[in-house]
Amino acid sequence: MLYLASKSPRRHELLTRLGLPFGVLDLDIPEQRQPGEPAEEYVRRVAREKAGAGLLSVIGNPSALVLGADTEVVLDDEVFGKPRDEADAGDMLRRLSGRRHRVISVVSLVSPARESMAVSVSEVTFTALEEARIQAYLAGGEWQGKAGAYAIQGRAEAFVSRLEGSYSGVMGLPLHETARLLREAGLDA
């Protein structure tokens, strides 16, 4: 049985696209970058912790496969997680305006017998954003709960002047990498 260790509606929607049945595990894993921890290692660690906590919650199921994922926006080695509030979201968008940033998305798949991981790094370039455009975006609330304060699958898609990498990875679950991990684990994805 496949489980998704995530409360994210975007990850649920993306995993559904692979056509496999799965259960959802509602976990609350702290996402705190350690001092000196490289950005990619941080994202790897959080994805692994989500998958591991999910596996512990279904420990009685020897056929369980648990998928954990984490996605973060990184600008100049600074991780832009989920904004604390609207002011924080506005600050993030102003800093991303007219700049290129990385989106690191890591998928961790664990079972009682194995662990595998895949990393997707995308390069996203934002057009220059006028303050009125930032304020209009903030007013819509789409920034809430989104790494980097934007949802590429929503109105912020118009901010992206260039994308190199995985669109689904920027959304929160890189489907190419996820499907590969699931096939390697014996599922027909």
Percent of the chain with pLDDT over 90: 91
61 falls in which pLDDT band (50, 70, 90)? confident
167-187: average pLDDT: 97
Instruction: Return the exposure string of 31-58: e unless at least 16 CB atoms fall within 10 Å of the residue's CB, then b.
Output: bebeeeeebbebbbbbbbbbbbbbbebb
pLDDT at 189 over 80: no
pLDDT at 187 over 90: yes
pLDDT in tens, 80-114: 999 999 999 999 999 999 999 999 999 999 999 99
**Domains, the chain, ordered by start:** 2-185 (3.90.950.10)
Identify the CA nearest to 178 among candidates 105, 111, 122, 81.
105
Which pLDDT score, from 0 to 100, does residue 93 have? 98
Whether the model pTM is above 0.85: yes
* Mean of the per-residue pLDDT values of the chain: 96
Q: Annotated active-site positions, please? A: 70
